[in-house]
Amino acid sequence: MDSKAYIFDIKRNTSEDGPGIRTTVFFKGCPLRCSWCQNPEGIASGPSLSFRAELCHPDDCELPCIKACKAKALTLQDRQLRFDRERCDQCGRCATVCSRHALEQVGLWLGVDELFYRVAIDKPFFDATGGGVTASGGECTMQMNFLHEFFKKLKATGIHTAIETNGMFNFGRFSRLLLPWLDLIYFDLKLIDEAASILHTGHSNRPILDNLRRLAEIAKIPVEVRIPLIPGITATEANLQGLAVFLRDLGIKQVNVLPYNPLWLDKLQRFGVDTEYRHDAFMSDAQIKHCIESMQNA
């Protein structure tokens, strides 16, 4: 049993991650490498260092971060702080001495009891609105043993539980450790073509499609499919119609679409994430409508 999990955020008063008012816990680590990842700080299983150059002012700072960095990943060049991520060992010493928060370590270890305490204080809001706790990520099922203990504790106190998953998990362990303690599953489905999945997420989609197929057969709780609309990748007529046919064969008649949000682009430089995909505009209502009609006409 895992006694602790690595968490990168806890958001309260959320309304888009399940019914009622919810508290969403974001677990670090993800097996996929989606080229449009909305939470790049959640990809690595361990700590991630955020560097915001616009908050760093070397002219009026003694730069204690340079002295704190034993890996020598921080240097002063041309009156600018330079961060060499290849040298960085993620020790976090620099972040502890950075008073301007230009350097911040994202993520912390929390035990089951401590995390439970942090979310259970919101139980009056859950009870009043039919809300609860949602585990997200990253991919929360990468820390499945911890989630098993955490969800058991939540259910023992009558708190509604949900997860947001990309579907890349071991089904046997999932059905044994998590499914009995869940009230709701949000299942993100991205691509129907295997080659496209490998190209844009780094992995075959076969395990994901198989897991959804098996959940559709045995799950006695709602499994709500969500399709992120990524211009030029998932939001194509061929992909959407292929997904629609697949879902229809499973008897799934209703899906939610998640329109593209470009705000993740601001995080790329902060976390040193390199991706060729760039799209800096929100989707229009007409584009979203076209995507929905493509699925309906499949």
* Segments of the chain scoring below 70 in pLDDT: 1-2
Under DSSP, is residue 79 helix (H, G, I), strand (E, B) or coil? coil
User: What percent of the chain is helix, strand and coil (3-state, nearest 5)?
Assistant: 40, 20, 40
Q: How far apart are CA 39 and CA 17, in angstroms?
A: 15
* pLDDT tens-place string over residues 84-107: 999 999 899 999 999 999 999 999
Q: How many CA atoms lie within 13 A of 227 on its CB side?
A: 25
Under DSSP, is residue 91 helix (H, G, I), strand (E, B) or coil? coil
pLDDT confidence of residue 71: 95
In the numeric block, the tokens 């008897």 are attached to 251
* pLDDT tens-place string over residues 124-134: 999 999 999 99
pLDDT confidence of residue 298: 85
Domains of the chain: 4-45+108-296 (3.20.20.70), 48-105 (3.30.70.20)
Q: How far apart are CA 38 and CA 28, in angstroms?
A: 13
Under DSSP, is residue 222 helix (H, G, I), strand (E, B) or coil? coil
pLDDT confidence of residue 1: 45
Query: Looking at residue 20, what DSSP letter applies?
Result: S
pLDDT confidence of residue 193: 98
Q: How many CA atoms lie within 13 A of 5 on its CB side?
A: 32
pLDDT confidence of residue 187: 98
pLDDT confidence of residue 253: 86
pLDDT confidence of residue 2: 52
What lies within 8 Å, CB to CB, of 235 at 6+ separation is 229, 260, 283, 287, 291
